[in-house]
Structures are given as structure tokens and as C-alpha cells.
Chains A and B, each alone.
Chain A
Amino acid sequence: MAVFSTAVPGLFERRLIFVTGKGGVGKSTVSTALGVLAARRGLRTIVAELASQERVRQAFGQGGDTFAEVALGERLFTISVDPQYAMEEYLKVKTGPVGQALGSSRLFQAFAMATPGMRELLSVGKVWELSQDRRRTEDANPYDLVIVDSPAAGHGVGILRTPRTFAEIARVGPIAQQGRAIAATIADRDFTAVVAVTTAEEMPVNETLWLRDALAAEQLPLDAVIVNARYPERFAPGERSALMAAREHASGPQARAALSAAVSEQARAASQSAEVERLSGGLGQPLVELPYLFAEDMGPGELETLADALDRGLREPAAAELVS
């Protein structure tokens, strides 16, 4: 696999990548773009969504059976992981007819779903199953790479911690065993990677710095940090006054609107640069930057563009020179 000389060491050589970050920064989009890139590099890849919002499939304009593994393109698949469905599947495979009857009992489902952390354990358990060479699910093929579109940062760390917590609480028995096996997989750096997505704004940057510390407390590293939606720096700081003066004297409404847009763009880009610098300084690790896409929606074309940018960025992280 050494043919891919990625600057972030071997992100695509792992089997399981958790993608997390603050709400609204574009986790689903970035997860999918990572999937597009991995598939392009020859890996049989699945993007697993944990919030069952089916954003990945929407981007490819597909409907179909919920909670099943769905092909999006060559070597690229997606699944929306639902804890309840995962539980029924697990019980069917592991515990025979009584377990199956248990799984289909509504009261038991209500109880299991209400147990704190159980939804997370079941979701991460399904993700773990997807990443195994020998799949539990009947007739299922193994994947080279599972990309997990995880919940927002706080909850995302919870997801990673849950298996160990359950192993500790349950001590013995199948839940403890399963919890320990999954926790060991997550802790295995050759197997699992954690990627943070952020935008260059105050709150997402704060959350990314917090995430790094929270992961460190769990002995988990942050393998890559992706800054999404970077504005192009079209205007130099020195040009701001010229733009503002021109707006004062603008002859028509269209020119005035265009100059307002330019002034705004300059301010937004400058504020982003400051945040990127703060993030880069705080993390002391290279960042991968993705461009803001001025597009009406995130379709396959936009995802290809982002996959291209990821490809470049993972080879030579943009902010490397900012880190002393």
C-alpha cells in the first residue's frame, strides 16, 4: 500500500475511519468525499452514517431500502446504521430462536433502546462488524475501508468510548466481550483512525481543539484535521479600502451589490485565515483544506471536486508551513 505516499501517515491503510466534528461543518459531505477518493484508489469502501439521515444517498440521488448496504458507484457503498435494526440483526445471528423472539418483542426493544449508551453500542457494533474480514451478516462481503460519518464532536467521542464503558459495566457476559473486542479495535492505530472536520470559524475551531483533548484523554489520536469550506482569498487586505471607496461612488445598484459582496468576501476570508492560524497553532499538526463550493447543492460533481482537493491535501497538507 506504500504506493500512496500520503503525508498523513496511511489514512487509507486503516480499515476504519471515524469522521467527527461540530454540527453543520459538513461531516457527511467530507465523509462521502473521502469515500469517493478511497474508491478511486481501488479500495472497496463503505460510508456508514450513524444519524440515519441518509444524506450520503441523497447526494447520489438514490432511494431504496433503508439500513441496507447500498452501492453508490464502483467500489463505493453506503449504509445508514440504525441501532434498533442492528440489535435485531445481532440477536438473530448470536442467540438463536429465543434471542430472535426477544429482539422482536416491543417491550424488550423499548427497554434496550432506553438503556443509556445502548444505542451507541449497537451502532458502533454494526460499524465494527462492517470492518471485519469475516462478516457476521450472511452473504456479506468484506470492505477494505469503512468510513463512519459520526455524530457531532461531544457525542462522537461518546460513541468511541461506549464499548469500553460497557465492557467495564457488564464485566462478564456477551456485552462485556463484545464491548472489549470493539474497544480493542478502536484503540488499534493500525486499524482505526479518527478524522476531525471543521470550518474556519470560532466555534468549530474551539470544538476541534476540545476534541483533540477529549480524544487524548481516551488515548486516541486525531489522525487528520480537515478544514472545510475555505473561501478563496480573492482580495488582499490592502484592497479593502479601494473596494469600499468604489462602493461609495458606485454608479448602479448591480455594481454596488457586487462591491458589497467583495467587501464581505474579504472580511470573511480574513476572519477564516485568523481562525485557521489559531487552529493550526493550537493543534501543532498539519491541516487539510477544502474549498468553499459556490454550488446550489452537493451532487456527485461537487463530491468529485472535493475528492480531488482531499487527494492533494492528504499528500501535502496546506498549512504545514504554519507549524513551526
Chain B
Amino acid sequence: MSVGELLADKRICVCGGSGGVGKTTTSAAIALGMAAQGAKVAVVTIDPARRLANALGLDELENEPTRVDPKRLAGNIEVKGELWAMMLDPKRTFDELIERIAKDPERAEEIKANRIYGELSTAVSGSQEFTAVAKLYELARDGDFDLLVLDTPPSRNALDFLDAPGRLTSFLDGRALKAFLRPTGLGMRVLGRGAAPFLGALRRVTGVDLLSDLMTFFSLLGDMTDDFKERAQGVERLLHSPQTAFLLVTSAQPAAIEEAIWFRRTLSESGLPFAGVIVNRVHHDRLGDSEPADVVAELGTELKADLAQRVAANFADYHVLARRDRLGVERLRAELGGAPLLLVPHLDDDVHDIEGLLRVHRFLFASETEREQLIAGVVA
């Protein structure tokens, strides 16, 4: 199975996974490959390597997809379709969202100047995830592209991407707070006490000013919360659509494999369309369970004795990694129950330019047989 086949009838491809597993390069390589096959593709990424951004001519000031100049790819790969890319600016995306749904520009300005909003939109956690799906939703609704590829924000935990937008939406929705402050609200009933001591407790915990700031913020948002809710529902529909594919990107290290398994289970439980796993940086030495025998003897007299010794020692070390990766991939394969699993070998150096992109692309879009041959070419 190649990525080309996996995404044949898809409109959205979400690349998830924990940090440091090559998600950005993989997303860009997927977009490139689909564009090469003739589609008009946009890749939305948050924090690409400077060299990759430069190579693609990405400008962080745009916050909209821009077409990657075909000249940049010419001579390397024939692109029948169009490749577009954008670097997401979370703060600006949030501001634009407010400007779009506020009832007038004055209200939008007031909200943007609110301190709670300032914290919310630059924050800590969640704002990248929230704005990434917000952008994805808008691009999908505009319908200018055959395929959108989303590189999910870097996070330690792949699941953040699924949780954070909902958390933020439920905050913006303000239902929880309103319910609390209403004298007949559920909060009061749960406590079985009058409103006064309850509100007192809430004040004691949060401080009067924080509470009133929150109230101001929500009153500014007013009926905009309905828009947020509607959008959130739209996003949910989009992510659950059969035309959406979640691809999980991981490395073969034991901790990453465990996380991938966990992520896959959560996707299934949430009813999200899981399409397969891409395992990056896999060490292969094709020795299986057999130990590297006397490599030194096989090396013959080509190399000086001490260099041959070092080659053998290095090979023994890589055999440990190859064995580790093979066991990890086997464990993952067993868990996946037949879902597609694509392996990309550990390539020699950092892949953060067009050249690197093309190398990853070759593995992702190769047929099974081609991939076997490619892997044979980069053993260990």
C-alpha cells in the first residue's frame, strides 16, 4: 500500500503523532506526492524547519496557502497538479476568526483587547490545536483544494490534538460558567446549597477580579458563542467524514510505538477515520534474529585491520537498533490488525530540504516491491 492509494478518494489528511518523529517532513512529502499525481494540494504546517520553509518559499507572514513555485521542484520531480503550503500563525488565525464572527469591528477590537482573550489566543496549550482545526475547517469549506494535509502542532502527546480544540470550545461556549452563575444552575443543585455560599467559594478560589474579567469576556462574546459551537460541530463532522484520513506518524522507538498504539485505539474509540501508520527512522540490517557473524573475516583485506574492527563494532551496535525496531514494528503490526503500515528507513542525515523531502516521498509513494528495493539500498 502506498500513500497515493491510501489518500486516493480523500479530501483531508491529518498527520498526527508525538514530537520529534518527522511529522512536518512527512506531511510535506505527502502533499508533494499527491500534487505530483495531479491533485491541487495544500499543506498546513505550524513550525517547519527554516531550511524546509525556505526551500518551499514559505512565508510566515501570509497565514494563507501560497503556491510553491514549480521552478523550485523542477528537475527533481514532475508535479502534474499544484502544491500549496502555509505556515500557521495561531494568534493571527484566532484574531481573524474573531474579526469574522464579531457583529461589528468595534466589538472585535474590544474582544482582542480583553486580557482573558490575550491569554487565550497566545496561550499556553490548546491555541495551536484550536486554530489549526479552525483553519482546516475554513479551507475545507472554501473548497479550493482537492486535498488538505494538516501537520498537527508539535506536542508531547499526540492526543492533545484531539482534546485541546474541544476544551477550548467548551470554554468559549461558556456553558459551564453560565450554568454556575445562574441561581438555578446545575452547579447549585449539585451542591445542594444556596447560591450565596457557592458564589462566595468560587470567589474565594478564583479571586473577585478574575471572575469579573471572565464575566466581561463572556458578555463581550455574547451570542458569538453560538458561532463557536456551530463551528465546533462543523469541525467534528469534517474530522469524522469518510473523506478524511488520519495518518499516524511515529518512530520505531519503544516509547513512540506504545504511544502510537494508544493513539490508534483512541482514534477508533472516537470514531475517527484512521487510515494507517507511517514509521519513520527505521533501522534495517536484514539479519533478523541471526547475530552479525564474523564481519571482519567477510571484509577481507579491503580495509586495514583496525578500521575493519570499528566497522564490525558499529555493525553490532546497529544490529541492536535494527532488532529493537523490528520488534517494535512487529508489535505495532499485530495491534493494527491489517491496517496499512509504511516504513521509512533512518536516512543518513537531517531531512529538512527539498532533497530530503524527495527521499521521504519516494518511500511513501513506492509500491510494495519498489519499497523493498529502496530499503535494500539503504540497509542499516
Contacts and interface: CB of A to CB of B under 8 A. Distances in A.
B71 interface: no
A257 B380 contact: yes
Interface string A104-121: 011110110111110110
Contact of B285 (A22, A158, A172, A257): A257
A257 B287 contact: yes
Contacts of B311: 243, 258-259, 261-262
B51 A202 contact: yes
Given A24-B18, A169-B116, A172-B209, A95 B204 contact: yes
B124 A252 contact: no
B323 A114 contact: no
Interface of B is mostly: helix
Interface stretch (A134-142, A215-223, A289-297, A316-324): A289-297
Interface stretch (A5-13, A66-74, A173-181): A173-181
Interface in B247-286: 251, 254-256, 259, 285-286
Interface stretch (A234-242, A279-287, A306-314): A234-242
A55 B350 contact: no
Interface in A147-187: 151-152, 154-155, 158-159, 162, 165-166, 169-176
A251 B307 CA distance: 17
Interface residues of B, number: 86
A94 to B, nearest CB: 8
A206 B50 contact: yes
Contact of B299 (A58, A170, A258): A258
A41 B292 CA distance: 40
A166 B348 CA distance: 46
Interface residues of A, number: 82
A101 to B, nearest CB: 5
A271 B302 contact: no
A39 interface: no
Contacts of A243: 303, 307, 311
Nearest to B318: A261
A53 B204 contact: no
Nearest to B352: A202
Contacts of A256: 379
A203 B24 CA distance: 11
Nearest to B120: A116
Interface string B191-209: 1010001101111111111
A169 B217 CA distance: 13
Given A23-B18, A98-B201, A151-B156, A234 B310 contact: yes
Nearest to A248: B302
Contacts of B168: 114, 116
Given A55-B255, A202-B350, A264-B348, A116 B204 contact: no
Contacts of B324: 295-297
Contacts of B127: 116
- A154, A264, A268 — which one has the most chain B CB atoms within 10 A of its CB? A264
Interface in B72-120: 115-116, 119-120
Nearest to B19: A23
Contact of B154 (A23, A91, A260): A23
Contacts of B380: 257-258, 260-261, 264
Contacts of A265: 314, 318
Contacts of A214: none
B331 interface: no
Point out which of B155, B179, B207 has the most chain A C-beta atoms below 10 A from its C-beta.
Answer: B207
A114 B204 CA distance: 19
A170 B207 contact: yes
Given A107-B176, A119-B125, A242-B307, A152 B156 contact: yes
A239 B187 CA distance: 72
B176 to A, nearest CB: 4
B207 A258 contact: no
A119 B124 CA distance: 9
A176 B348 CA distance: 51
A193 B123 CA distance: 23
A105 B210 contact: no
Given A51-B157, A261-B285, A268-B349, A158 B206 contact: no
Interface of A: 22-25, 51, 53, 55, 58, 91, 94-95, 98-99, 101-102, 105-108, 110-111, 113-117, 119-120, 151-152, 154-155, 158-159, 162, 165-166, 169-176, 201-204, 206, 234-235, 239, 242-243, 245-246, 249-265, 267-268, 271, 294-298
What are the nearest 5 A-B pairs in CB distance? Answer: A24-B20, A23-B19, A173-B207, A261-B380, A114-B171
Given A116-B168, A173-B207, 16 more contacts: A25-B20, A107-B179, A108-B187, A117-B119, A169-B115, A173-B204, A174-B204, A175-B207, A204-B20, A235-B314, A246-B303, A251-B300, A255-B300, A258-B295, A258-B312, A296-B254
28 contacts: A22-B19, A99-B204, A102-B198, A107-B179, A108-B187, A111-B171, A116-B120, A117-B119, A155-B155, A162-B124, A166-B210, A170-B209, A174-B205, A201-B350, A202-B49, A202-B51, A204-B20, A234-B313, A249-B302, A254-B293, A255-B300, A257-B315, A258-B311, A258-B315, A260-B378, A260-B380, A296-B327, A297-B254
Interface of B: 18-21, 49-51, 115-116, 119-120, 123-127, 154-157, 167-168, 170-171, 176-177, 179-180, 186-187, 190-191, 193, 197-198, 200-210, 213-214, 251, 254-256, 259, 285-287, 292-293, 295, 298-300, 302-303, 307, 310-315, 317-318, 320-321, 323-324, 327, 346, 348-350, 352, 378-380
